[in-house]
Structure formats: C-alpha cells, structure tokens
Structure 1
Amino acid sequence: MRLQHATWQEVDAYLRRETGIIVPIGSTEQHGPNGLVGTDAICPETVAWEVGERYGVLVAPTQNLGMAQHHLAFPGTISLRPSTLIAVLRDTVISLSRHGFTHVFFLNGHGGNVATLSAAFAEIHAERSMGYGPQPVGELHLTTHNWFAGSRVRELAESLYGDAEGTHATASEVALSWFARPEAVKHVDMSPRIAPRGSAQCDADEFRRRFPDGRMGSDPSLASIEHGERFLDASVSDAWEAYRAFIRPI
C-alpha cells in the first residue's frame, strides 16, 4: 500500500490496525558510466514497494534527495546540506507522528545518508526530552535499514561479484535498478575493469580526481536484470525481517 495512492480514509483505517510505516530514502547522484543517477532512490523504493505489496505495510513517498556533496563534480547530482536533510526528516517524522504513526522505518539506499539520519534521530529525540519546539505526539520509534547491507544481499553480492562489487556504483545496486527500470539499461565497457579504491571523505573536486568515472572499486558491467531480480528477493527478505523485529521486538 502506497501512501500517495491512498485516500486519507484508507490511511485512517490502516492506522486502526497498524502504526508502522516504511519511508524509502535515497539520493540523486552519479553512479558511474552505466548506473542511473536515480539508483540510490530507485533501489530502496523498489524494495519498499515490494514489502508493502507482500505484507500490507504502508509505504511513504520516497525521499529522493540526500547528502551527496562529494558527487557534485558530476553533472546531474543534486545534494542537500546535512542540516537541510535533518530538517526534512524531522518534519516528515513530526507529520507522521501527528497522525498516530509510532514506528518509522527508513529504508535507506545511500551510505552518505547514514550519519545524517542518525543526527536527525538525535535531534528529534532531544526535542522530545527537552520539551521545546514542535514535537512528535505520543510513542515514537525510529530506525534505519540499509537495503544493501542485509546479510542475504551481502552474501549474494559476494557470490556473484567478489571483490568487483566495490563500494559505489556497485554491481548489485546497478543490477537492482535495472530490474526496476529495464527500459533504462546501459551497456558500457569499463576501463579500468575494476575502478580505483579509496575514501569518499573529501570535497567534490577531489572525489572526481580520485574516481574519474565515478566508480569506487567496482565493475558494474557485471550487473544484469536477472541478478537484479535476485537482489530484490534477497533485499525484501532482509528488510521484512528487520521491519518485523523493529515493530514487534522479542
């Protein structure tokens, strides 16, 4: 069930039986020679929609813009400042809390968002504890699950790609985005086959000097639509397991 395709009455009915919601969050940034600029949003959105269809969980609209400043030397990248993203996440949570959502599960597709998500959660909880500013109403629980870090996904990536998976513009994320958007598949020869490795802790110009075509340690030419279908199944299992544990901890 997708929030943007529901009426307010349907959301109200959902809240009478369930108070958890999945919020896909990603980024709009370069993903190398054959990766889509929207990869980091397409992937968690695709996983979230499938979880929602299989298990009846409400899925919020995707937060498509993230913290991607280190990719800004590549055309097409759009980045928020960390402070801007924190404000967006805070307002999203407060809005959902007002209506009675108690468990907000951010399904993340971009490693660069992780620190900002943690900071946003800290801000929200601090406001609750200190009693200032607009505050979430009642019980509130927040968590992040990175679709690419689940055990099933990692095992599959290792078996298919080994060291060629890399850390950005990875074969696994390219494969999943291709399965979701097969009309946008790009076939490009990679040179070198496996991209340089290194840290992304730098500004945009330095990042492009370190990683000229945008890849980090990866060979995404190994990706395929068939692999993407397998990654979807693996990531849905990982995400559903994490969501159930979050909603109803043992």
Structure 2
Amino acid sequence: MLLHTAAWPEIEAYLKTSTGIIIPIGSTEQHGPNGLIGTDAICPEVIAREAGEDAGILVGPTFNVGVAQHHLGFPGSMTLRPTTMIAALNDWIDSLARHGFEKIYFLNGHGGNIATIGAAFAESYSNWSFDGEACPYELMQRNWWDLPGVMDVCRSLFPVGEGSHATASEVSVTYYAYPEHVKNVKMSPKIAPNGRFTDADDYRKTFPDGRIGSDPAQATPEKGATIVQAARKAVIQDVTAFFSR
C-alpha cells in the first residue's frame, strides 16, 4: 500500500496491525547522457513499491531531492544543503512518529545522502536523550545496492563497466520502471574515467559527460527487471527482520 494513494482511515487501520513503514529516499541529479535525472529516487521507489505490494508493507512518499551539490554543473540537477535535509528528515520522522509509527526504514538510492541521513538520525535521537525520555521509534537506513545478493546480480550482468556513478545497473532499473524513456546515446570514451571531485565546477571539468567509471550503454529494461526482482526479495527480508525486532 502506498501512503500517498491511501485515505486516512486506511492508514489508521494499517497501524493496528503494523507500525512499520518504508520511505524511499534518493536524489535528483544528472546521471550521464543516457541516465534519467531522477535515477537515485526512482531506483529505491520502484523497489520499495514492489516489495510493499508483495508483502503488504506500507510505503511512504519518496524523499526525492538529496545532497548533490557536486552535480549542479549539469542542468536539471537539484540539491539540498545537508542542514536543510537534516531538518526536513526530522520533520518527516516527527510526523510519522506522531501517528504511532515505530519502525521507519529509509531505503536509500544515493551515496551522497548516507552521511546526512545518519546525522538526521542522530539529531532525532538526541531530542529524546536531552529530554531524558526513551525514544518510542527506531530508524534504519539501507542502500538498495547493499541488500544481500543485489551486487552479485549487478556484477553478473555487468562484469565490465558498472562504474560508480551513472552505473549500468541503476540506469537499467530506471529503464525497467520507465521503458518509454530509454535513451540511445553514443558516449565516448566507452567506459568513463574514475577520479575524485570537490564542488560542482570541479566535477564538471573532471567528468564532462557526468559518468564516473561506467558504461551505461549496456543498460536495458530486461536487466533492470532482474535487478529489481533480487532487490525486492532482499528488502522484504530486511524490512521484515527490522519490523519484528
């Protein structure tokens, strides 16, 4: 069940049987010449949605703009400052806790969010610690690619050219979700370079087409379906264990 397509009596009824929810969280940023700008939000969203449908788990709206300042050299990319994201996440958490949610599982799709999500959790727990009260909820963050077995599938599909940004696997997942938006683009070099970066200007100079170490021309909707199938099963197991502890 999706929170944003449910009516409030349905959520009230759900809370009588479960106090757990999945929140997909990602980013809105460039993903190379053939990658969708919403890739990092789309991937956890589609995986969470299918897991929720299979296992009867409530899935909240996607937190779809994250920490991505280094991508601002590419049109369409959007970002939050870490402090803004921490504040927004705490408002989301407080809203859900107000209604009685006790297990809030964030399925993340953007590596640049990891530290900030962790800081948001620390901020949230700190409020209870300073008040000398026990926190009534538990928070969890999981990157979809870190789910058991998922990277094994990705490596088997893309033994060469997976890369670390605009990867063949993440682009495949978005093509599975939106096959009408598959983009056939010639990219040179075939496999993008690797390296480090700082701000948006430095990123654009170092990686002019936006990719890092990847060859996403290999991406297909069919390969995306294989990845989502593996991730869906893994997230159900992970969430079920989290909700039950």
TM-score (normalised: structure 1): 0.95
Are 1:2 and 1:58, in contact at CA under 8 Å, matched by a contact in 2?
yes
Q: Which residue of structure 1 lines up, in the alignment, with residue 192 of structure 2?
A: 195
In structure 1, distance between residues paired with 2:60 and 2:101: 12
Q: 1:161 aligns with which of 152, 158, 163?
A: 158
Overall identity of the aligned pairs, in %? 53
Counterpart in the other structure of 2:230 = 234
**What displacement does 1:138 show?**
5.5
8 Å CA contact 1:145, 1:242 repeated in 2: no
Give the distance between the partners of 2:195 and 2:57, measured in 1 at CA: 38
SS in 1 for 2:159: helix
Deviations 1:203-237 (A, max 9, x none): 00001111110001000001101001001101112
Distance 2:135 2:213 in 1: 45
SS of structure 1 residue aligned to 2:24: strand
Aligned residue identity for 1:220: P
1:126-141 matches, within 5 Å, as 126-131=126-131, 139-141=136-138
Amino acid of the structure 1 residue aligned with 2:139: L
Q: Distance in 2 between matches of 1:150 and 1:186?
A: 28
In structure 2, what is the equivalent of residue 25 of structure 1?
25
1:10-44 deviations in whole A, cap 9, x for unaligned?
A: 00000000000000111000000100001111111
8 Å contact 2:28–2:39 — kept in the other structure?
yes
Q: Is the 8 A contact 2:125 2:135 kept in 1?
A: no
Supply the distance in 2 between the matched residues of 1:154 and 1:45 (Cα, whole angstroms). 18
Q: What CA RMSD, in Å, does the superposition of the two structures yield over aligned residues?
A: 1.4
Question: Quick one: distance in 1 between partners of 2:160 and 2:27?
Answer: 24
- 182, 185, 203: which is aligned to 2:182? 185
**Matched residue of 2:23: which SS?**
strand
Deviation at 1:148, TM superposition (A): 1.7
Normalising by structure 2, we get a TM-score of 0.97
Letter in 2 for 1:37: I
Give structure 1 stretches of 5+ with no counterpart: none
SS in structure 2 at match of 1:151: coil
SS at match of 2:149: helix
Q: Using the alignment, how far apart are the partners of 1:215 and 1:39 within structure 2?
A: 13
2:207 to 190, 207, 211: 211
Structure 2 gap ranges (5+): none
User: How far off is 1:95 after superposition?
Assistant: 0.3
Distance 1:127 1:138 in 2: 9
Count of equivalent residues: 245
Matched AA of 1:5: T
Contact kept, 8 Å, 1:145 with 1:239, in 2: the verdict is no
Alpha-carbon separation, structure 1, partners of 2:12 and 2:52: 17
* Alignment-derived partner of residue 107 in structure 1: 107
Distance 1:227 1:91 in 2: 37
- CA distance in 2: counterparts of 1:138 and 1:212, whole angstroms: 46
Query: 2: distance between equivalents of 1:189 and 1:156?
Result: 25
SS at match of 2:123: helix
Q: Which amino acid letter does the alignment assign opposite residue 141 of structure 1? A: E
Helix, strand or coil at the partner of 1:199: coil
Q: Which runs of 4+ in 1 moved over 6 A?
A: none
